Chains A and B, each alone.
Chain A
Amino acid sequence: MIEAKNLVKKFGDFTAVDNINFKVEKGEFAAFLGPNGAGKTTSIKMFTTLLHPTSGTLTINGINPAVDPFGVRRSFGIVFQDPSLDDELTAYENIELHAVLYGVSKNDRAEKIKMLLNFVELYDRKDNLVKTFSGGMKRRLEIARALVHEPTILFLDEPTAGLDPQTRNHMWSYIEKLNQERQMTVLFTTHYMEEAEKFARRVLVMDQGKIVEDGSPKELMERAQVPSLEEAFLKFTGHGIREETASAVDQLRQHRKAWGAKR
């Protein structure tokens, strides 16, 4: 399903992803954990064809993204770390736009969108502009959107960051349902260790560009001989705080905030 062989990504002298190898099978529910700057987002960007690996090979759903990026793109859905909706469009229009980009046939479109909006309980808000939505509603809408082209893999990059516990529970119940009922492969990243412990059946721990641990949450806790995944995580990756420079995008976000724009 998702297979990486000797995968490397370098930005100049800096090695963001350092020779990782792993395989996630169809129907798995796996978490990618790691401190900031560990290489999780860079890895996900490579899985989703946004970045080209410096070396090594990737296979997503049996397809090499370097050979057939469009084939790969059709086979996964993604919920990004930052919201990626158009605030000036309605919920329905956002999903419709996605459906058109992915070539979902016109005949099925309306029905699929209705089904998915019902699934994330947003159908009654379908004609509202997204800018009137709360953070949690936006996330739910993004999940619905990621599913409209019926992907077999779902990537989620910190899908629950900044959400309240109620919304987080809701989100995970949707995602679990998809995993169990449709055998959808799920790979997510998160900083909430209890979420990974509770929902992931497999955990890959990344640190400084390498995969340092791989196993079920239970196995990792046993290996570290601690009672929680959080403690195991800290044991594997250390207690030091990682420095990360703010990207231009972060700076821009602050700038916009300073100018009083609503998010």
Chain B
Amino acid sequence: MDAIYILWLRQIKRYLRSPARILGSLGQPILFLLALGYGFGAVYAKAGGGNYLQFIAPGVICMSILFTAVFSGIEMIWDRQFGFLKETFVAPVPRLHIVFGRVLGGATVATLQGVIVLLLTFLFGFRPEHLWLLPLALVVMLIIALLFSAFGTAIASVLEDMQGFQLIMNFMVMPTFFFSGALFPLAGLPPLLSLVAKLDPLTYGVDALRGLLISSNHFPLTTSIGILTGVMLFFLLLSSFLFSRIEL
């Protein structure tokens, strides 16, 4: 347990020590809120959708969690390159503890980032409907963060260098974001897009968060949280398995 804690703490420290990175990763959410949130606001309202900023704010929060979590996981490639991973591998600590420390650390960092973006959306005029549901929203954010932190760790366990990073970003992470319904309503989609959205785990994260923050969910809340938790457990297992097979 001590090992999990100290490796978790390491990632929190690294995060808090790089304010440039924290600020830098706020650029994208701000851009989405400003350009899309205000830009499409009028059209969306005219189409009868209501307030577009209210609608995409949960999606933008999920986006920043997704990117931060996947990136924290993939960052392990640097640890591998700089030998830090070796240092943990020769320590008398089960690999499972090491990977849990990592995934938890990455997920905590991503959740923190999500909270910062949530606070930021308030500045842009986002108002959650039920403040008392915020703690539950936080839990959903943590599950999303765990899911994608484990996903990133699994990827980093099989990649030996950063060459594949663009591939992962453009063919896995970006589609995960864009098909999740973070930016558009899930009702009335063409069948193919609807199917893709249903296969995307982030869809359920965005939807659950939307349900909790602005009570406008497409799927029942329990379904979303159930699917999300299931997929998270799957990626936790997968990352543990792949991590245990790393040879240095």
Interface of A with B (CB < 8 Å)?
45, 48-51, 69-71, 73-74, 78, 80, 82-89, 93, 96-98, 100-103, 129, 248-249, 251-253, 255-256
Contact B86 A101 (CB under 8 A): no
Complex contacts, B2 vs chain A, CB 8 Å:
100-101, 103
Indicate whether B88 reaches chain A with its CB closer than 8 angstroms: yes
Q: B86 contacts A50, CB within 8 Å? A: yes
Residues of the B chain whose Cβ atoms lie less than 8 Å from the Cβ of A70? 92
**Could you tell me if A248 and B161 are in contact, using CB atoms closer than 8 angstroms?**
yes
Most chain A Cβ neighbours within 10 Å, of B7, B83, B90, B160: B90
A148 to chain B, nearest CB (A): 11
> Which residues of chain B are within 8 angstroms of A84 by Cβ–Cβ distance?
82-84, 86-87
B83-110 interface bits toward A, Cβ cutoff 8 Å, 1 = contact, 0 = none? 1101111111100000000000000000
Tell yes or no: B3 within 8 A of A by CB: yes
Report whether B83 and A80 are in contact in the complex, using a CB–CB cutoff of 8 Å.
yes
B119 within 8 A of A: no
The answer on a CB contact under 8 Å between B91 and A73 is yes
CA–CA, A51 to B82, complex, Å? Answer: 19
Query: Distance in Å from the Cβ of B101 to the closest Cβ of chain A?
Result: 10
Q: Which of B7, B14, B90 contacts A78 (CB 8 A)?
A: B90
How does the 8 Å CB contact mask read for B2-34 relative to A, with 1 for contact and 0 for none?
Answer: 110111001001100110000000000000000
Evaluate contact between A80 and B3: CB separation under 8 angstroms. no
Option from A80, A101, A255 in Cβ contact (under 8 Å) with B162: A255
A88-B14, A248-B161 known; A83-B82 Cβ under 8 A: yes
Q: Please name all residues of chain A whose beta carbon is closer than 8 Å to the beta carbon of B162 when the two chains form the complex.
A: 252, 255-256
A103 with B92: CB separation less than 8 A: yes
A78 to B2, CA, bound (A): 21
User: Could you tell me the dominant secondary structure of chain B's interface residues?
Assistant: helix
Q: How far is the CA of A69 from the CA of B65 in the complex (A)?
A: 37
Asked if B198 is an interface residue, CB under 8 A from chain A, the answer is: no
Q: Are A80 and B86 in contact (CB under 8 A)?
A: yes
Supply 6 A–B pairs (Cβ within 8 Å), ascending by A: A98-B91, A101-B2, A101-B6, A102-B92, A103-B92, A255-B163
Closest-by-CB residue of B relative to A77 is: B90
B248 interfacial by beta-carbon distance below 8 Å: yes
Query: Which residue numbers of B lie inside 8 Å of A, CB to CB?
Result: 2-3, 5-7, 10, 13-14, 17-18, 77, 80-84, 86-93, 160-163, 247-248
What residue in chain A is nearest B160 (Cβ atoms)?
A248
Give chain A residues whose Cβ lies under 8 Å from the Cβ of B160: 248-249, 252
> What residue of chain A has the Cβ atom nearest to residue B79's Cβ?
A86
Instruction: Give Cα distance in the complex from A251 to B80, angstroms.
Output: 13
- Complex: chain A residue closest to B85, CB-CB: A84
CA–CA, A52 and B77, complex, Å: 23
Out of B81, B84, B89, name the residue touching A252 (CB < 8 Å).
B81
> How many Å lie between the Cα of A73 and that of B5 in the bound state?
20
Contacts of B90 in A (CB 8 A): 48-50, 73, 78
6 closest cross-chain pairs (CB), A and B: A84-B83, A248-B160, A101-B91, A70-B92, A252-B161, A100-B6
Q: Which residues of A contact B7 (CB under 8 A)?
A: 97
B98 to chain A: closest residue by CB: A101
Given the known interface contacts A50-B248, A100-B2, the answer about A249 and B81 at a Cβ–Cβ threshold of 8 Å is yes
Cα distance A73–B13 in the bound complex, in angstroms? 27
Complex: how many Å from CA A251 to CA B5? Answer: 33
Residues of A within 8 A of B6 (CB): 96-97, 100-101
> Would you call A101 and B82 a contact (CB within 8 A)?
no
A86 to B13: give the CA distance in the assembly, Å: 11
Query: Which residue from A78, A87, A101, A253 sits with its C-beta under 8 Å from B3?
Result: A101
- How far, in Å, is B104 (CB) from chain A's closest CB? 15
B84 engages A86 (CB within 8 Å): yes
Bound-complex Cα distance A253 to B18 (A): 22
For residue A89, which residues in chain B have a CB less than 8 angstroms away from its CB? 10, 13-14
Distance (Å) between the CB of B13 and the closest chain A CB? 7
Contact B92 A45 (CB under 8 A): no
Q: Closest CB of chain B to A42's CB: distance in Å?
A: 11
Instruction: Name the CB-closest residue of A to B83.
Output: A84
CB proximity of B20 to chain A, nearest CB, Å: 12
| Alpha-carbon gap, A50 to B246, bound state (A) | 10
Q: Chain A nearest CB: distance from B92 CB in Å? A: 4
Provide the bound-state CA to CA distance between A93 and B14, in Å. 12
Q: Which residue of A lies closest to B6 (CB)?
A: A100
